[in-house]
């Protein structure tokens, strides 16, 4: 039985592929400067890809801006939507006076219910 055992390679330890005849796609490196920590991050992209103007700083995780000719690119955020909160959406449907009136009505109902329960249990 021992003479028929199979011998194999360690999985993941060695690759059976070689890099002969492999041509890599052209690469371009872009530098990003973090305004928070002041460090520069260099990222490598494919030459065909469009590099983003902003990238996450790998040192402090804040937003870093791409450098072109040693100057940061000006990023226009005017077209981005600002996240609306539940309160913002509520104010789109009702005025503040209406909300205060509804609140008073609900508080009155709750106070009456609480008062009625205390009388029953007392």
**78 part of a folded domain:** no
Q: How far is CA 78 from the centre of its chain?
A: 19
Q: How many CA atoms lie within 13 A of 122 on its CB side?
A: 6
User: pLDDT tens digits, residue range 80-113?
Assistant: 788 889 999 999 999 999 999 999 999 999 999 9
Beta carbons of 34 and 62 less than 8 angstroms apart: yes
Give how many domains the chain has, as a whole number.
2
Which CATH number is 68's domain given?
2.20.28.270
Q: What is the arithmetic mean of pLDDT over 4-25?
A: 72
Same domain for 62 and 97, yes or no, is no
Give the structural domain span for 43.
27-72
**11 part of a folded domain:** no
- The residues near 99 (Cβ < 8 Å, ≥ 6 apart) are 90
pLDDT computed for residue 107 by the predictor: 94
Q: Is the pTM of this model over 0.85?
A: no
**1 part of a folded domain:** no
**16 part of a folded domain:** no
Same domain for 63 and 98, yes or no, is no
What values do phi and psi take at 110, rounded to 5?
-65, -40
**36 part of a folded domain:** yes
pLDDT computed for residue 83 by the predictor: 87
Beta carbons of 66 and 51 less than 8 angstroms apart: yes
Same domain for 55 and 89, yes or no, is no
């Amino acid at each position: 039985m021992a003479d028929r055992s199979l011998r194999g390679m360690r999985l993941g330890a060695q690759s059976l592929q070689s890099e002969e005849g492999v041509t890599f796609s052209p690469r371009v490196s872009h530098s990003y400067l973090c305004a928070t920590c002041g460090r520069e991050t260099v990222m490598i992209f494919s030459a065909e890809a469009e590099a983003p103007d902003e990238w996450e700083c790998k040192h402090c995780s804040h937003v870093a801006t791409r450098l072109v000719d040693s100057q940061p690119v000006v990023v226009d955020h005017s077209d981005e939507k600002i996240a609306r909160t539940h309160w913002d959406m509520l104010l789109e449907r009702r005025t503040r006076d209406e909300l205060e009136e509804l609140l008073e009505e609900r508080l009155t109902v709750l106070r009456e219910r609480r008062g009625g329960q205390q009388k029953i249990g007392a």
